[in-house]
Amino acid sequence: MKLAESFYIRRNVTTIARQLLGKILTTKINNLITGGMIVETEAYSYKERGCHAFKGRTQRNEVMFEQGGKAYVYLCYGVHEMFNVVTNKTGKADAILIRALEPVSGIEIMQDRMGVNSSKRITSGPGKLTRALGIDRKLNGEELKKNIIWIEDKGIQIKQTAIVRSARIGIDYAGEDALLPWRFTIKGNKWISK
């Protein structure tokens, strides 16, 4: 069952980031279905320096200021498309970066998109999973309740004791906010990014 709109709003972004672990992210692009279980997330809030929305609204981060339940997709280092889930109410620009998936659906399609013959590590990183699932900036602002990109709850429960908190990756520019333990992973899962 797709996550309800209420899942994405009126709750702490860190709570939502934790609860996204074990949920299934799926895309239907060019009529091809691909998807995987979320095993690594990072929370970002407009209140802290790690977040694209910290300094206010810009052309790139505009969708972050909209109501939760949409995709925020941007290009990183000129090469990698990055997929985030927008959360919180209109004007409260929170988002969660999806950093790694465990492949579930359309594994051959994902291998083709990655140009490899094995499923090994095809979705273990934020730039890789978007490529495997066919996600790019055309999906920026897309509503997750529609049938192009969505997140489902298939009843998989991740115990609190199986969740690891750590500092977020690659945001040294955020100063002391880079130390916030806002990265969530499923303990021992082999699909976590390196």
| Token pair 């941007």 in the structure block, residue | 74
Compute the residue count for the chain. Answer: 194
In the DSSP assignment, the letter for residue 88 is S
| Token pair 């199986």 in the structure block, residue | 162
One residue of 36, 50, 103, 106 binding DNA per CB under 7 A: 50
Is residue 49 involved in binding DNA (CB under 7 A)?
no
Piece of the chain touching DNA by CB under 7 A; list 17-25, 76-84, 142-150, 181-189? 76-84
Is residue 117 involved in binding DNA (CB under 7 A)?
no
* Contact status, residue 70 vs residue 61, Cβ threshold 8 Å: no
Q: How many helices (DSSP H) and strands (DSSP E) are in the chain?
A: 3, 8
Is residue 167 involved in binding DNA (CB under 7 A)?
no
User: 106: closest CA among 2, 36, 193, 154?
Assistant: 36
Cross-strand bridge partners of residue 101: 38
Is residue 38 involved in binding DNA (CB under 7 A)?
no
Piece of the chain touching DNA by CB under 7 A; list 5-13, 29-37, 78-86, 179-187? 78-86
Is residue 75 involved in binding DNA (CB under 7 A)?
yes
Is residue 22 involved in binding DNA (CB under 7 A)?
no
Residues making contact with DNA (CB under 7 A):
42, 44, 50-53, 55, 58-61, 74-80, 82, 84, 95, 97, 125-129, 168-171, 173, 193
